[in-house]
Structure 1
Amino acid sequence: MTKWQNILKNLSVFVFVIVGLFTSMSALAQQSYVVDPNWLKEQIKTKQPIVIFDSRSKEEYDQGHIPNAISFPVDDTYVVQDRAYYVKNKVNIAPLLREKGVTKDAKVIVYDQGELMFASRLLWVLELYGIKDLAILNGGLDGWKEKNDVSQVAHSLPASDYVPVLNPSIYASTTVAKVAVHNPKYNLYDSRTYDEYLGKKSMTSKYGRIPKAKYIDLSEFFTIDENGNKFLKIQAELDEVLAHLDKSKKNITYCNKGTASTLSYYLLKQAGFNVAHYDGSWIDWSEKGLPIEK
């Protein structure tokens, strides 16, 4: 083998290693936003420094939860004004985050029963206020219970001195939603039921949708196992579902009160989209008498 053949061979190996490294890093980046029950079980078993938040109601938490999980009902993050639901501001969310022991360096896993809507809402709130290392438990509690036991022992952390730092890039106000209607650089996505999207039903006195909004069918992102439990599809299948959407634009998600649309937010964010959630969503839009279409 000549000197140049050796150089080319070594270069090929180097490129292969680098490509493999970046592929692994990309896979880890995707995996870090969603974890499965087996991974979480191992973290608990080996006493890894993670925080597990149960986003269901306190009553449901008391009936049985994942060991070491802390009750953090997603309803505690809302404030209701003029019938619309909004995330609490920094002043009002800070005591709640400190009470739950939130710290800026925590690895946080969030779960709900399995629909992932409550979990994604809590994830969005935590991300909005500066927590960066976040993931949702795929399958939720229902998926966990297939092979693992639950606990009725309440768990908590010492209160922290966490200071929330707003991440405005993932927050869309009414003004931003209005801009999105007219600006071709934005997409709007409706995560309500299809009948609500078509204007056949509504939670408010207004029927229809925000102008130019497209419909997202959340059921397309899930698969059902043999026990009837819902799990997110693998990333390649999720990418296929989202293939028709434009990644070059800023994407705004909304639903009725801001729960289902945070799941849309989560799914788009995981797939690499530039996305924000419209706080207040359809109730905010329709209560303010803004334009609609059918």
Structure 2
Amino acid sequence: MNKYRITIFSVIFLFFSGLGSTYANERQHEWVIEGSELQQKINENQPIIIFDARSQEQYKQGHINTAISFPTALTYVAINNAYYVKSIKKIAPLLQQKGVTTSQQIIIYDQGDLKNAARLFWVLELYGIKNIAILNGGINAWSEQYLLTKIATIPQPSQYFPILNSSVYASTTVAKVAAYSDLYQLYDSRTLAEFIGERSATDKFGHIPTAKSIQNSVFFNTTATGVSLLKSPKQLNPIFASLDKSRKSVTYCNKGKASTLTYFLMKQAGFKVSHYDGSWLEWSEKGLPVEK
């Protein structure tokens, strides 16, 4: 058994757990935070941890005051041309180093497309953290109203040890089942050109059988200054209204960033949803069936 993958026990638990429908309905209204709310929390010295999910280089160029650099790339491990979330054994020292704890709310941001933020959100959820929010608009929106700093914040190490929340995780086995079972629906968050087989990040063209395409671009409004902001839940409702909430939803993309944003918003909308770790890169590498 590959030491970097979620254990067989976890996969079996996921398959029979109903993808954590109770967990999926918790705190839906608290998962997105606006810049003004975050600034208020900072001004009031509220007990929060802010993670900058961009690269270390971007962080050094300017970041939100008190934010800790936590590049999403640190949560990945590469195996056979695909990327996976690190195992508990590998992720625990990283989470402790970054000061992850259950006693403080964690707020995550990136440049603004929210792919890195959503990926880190999913990783923290997978490993037992629940009190998390994503900053709407990221640095792009924040910097229009508030100053940035180049002074790095050094995290206070914690003793947190991850607890696996396998309800948010889908393995290859689950993705295979989802492709042919009426109990599941797969959602592909890659570009439309990739979905229909005109382009591909691998040598396989098309999509996982029975998957539906859902583009990240439909989730955003653009301001007059060109900043992308998430649509409100009311605006997102028409997008999700045509999808079947009675099914267990599984999201995927190429590497697991765009699909974790889809996962995040579907979960906020009340879907029973998990993310396929490995995604299209793994599916292609294994030579599994595709359709166009």
Matched residue, 1:94: 92
* Displacement of 1:217: 1.6
Gaps of 5+ in 1: 1-27
Matched residue, 2:107: 109
Describe how 1:4-23 pairs up with structure 2 within 5 A: none
**Bigger relative contact order (CA 8 A; separation at least 6):** 2
Ranges of 4+ aligned residues in structure 1 off by more than 2 Å:
28-31
Taking structure 1 as the reference length, what is the TM-score of the superposition?
A: 0.90
Residue number among 117, 129, 140 corresponding to 2:138 in the alignment: 140
Does residue 276 in structure 1 map to residue 274 in structure 2? yes
Residue deviations 1:97-146 (CA, integer Å, cap 9, x gap): 00001112220000000000000000000000000001100000111011
Describe how 1:230-269 pairs up with structure 2 within 5 A: 230-269=228-267
Within 1, Cα distance between the matches of 2:231 and 2:290?
33
SS at match of 2:241: coil
Residue number among 159, 162, 179 corresponding to 1:161 in the alignment: 159
Matched residue, 1:290: 288
Within 2, Cα distance between the matches of 1:158 and 1:51?
10
* Displacement of 1:182: 1.4
Taking structure 2 as the reference length, what is the TM-score of the superposition?
A: 0.90
SS at match of 1:206: coil
Within 1, Cα distance between the matches of 2:185 and 2:103?
33
- How many positions carry a matched residue from both structures? 267
Does residue 206 in structure 1 map to residue 204 in structure 2? yes
SS at match of 1:42: helix
CA contact (8 A) 2:29 2:268 kept: no
Gaps of 5+ in 2: 1-25
Within 2, Cα distance between the matches of 1:104 and 1:41?
21
Residue number among 215, 218, 243 corresponding to 2:216 in the alignment: 218
Which residue identity does 1:47 align to in structure 2?
N
SS at match of 2:27: helix
CA contact (8 A) 1:105 1:131 kept: no
What percent identity do the matched residue pairs reach? 55
Within 1, Cα distance between the matches of 2:250 and 2:103?
28
CA contact (8 A) 1:120 1:262 kept: yes
Does residue 122 in structure 1 map to residue 120 in structure 2? yes
* Displacement of 1:30: 3.1
Which residue identity does 2:282 align to in structure 1?
D
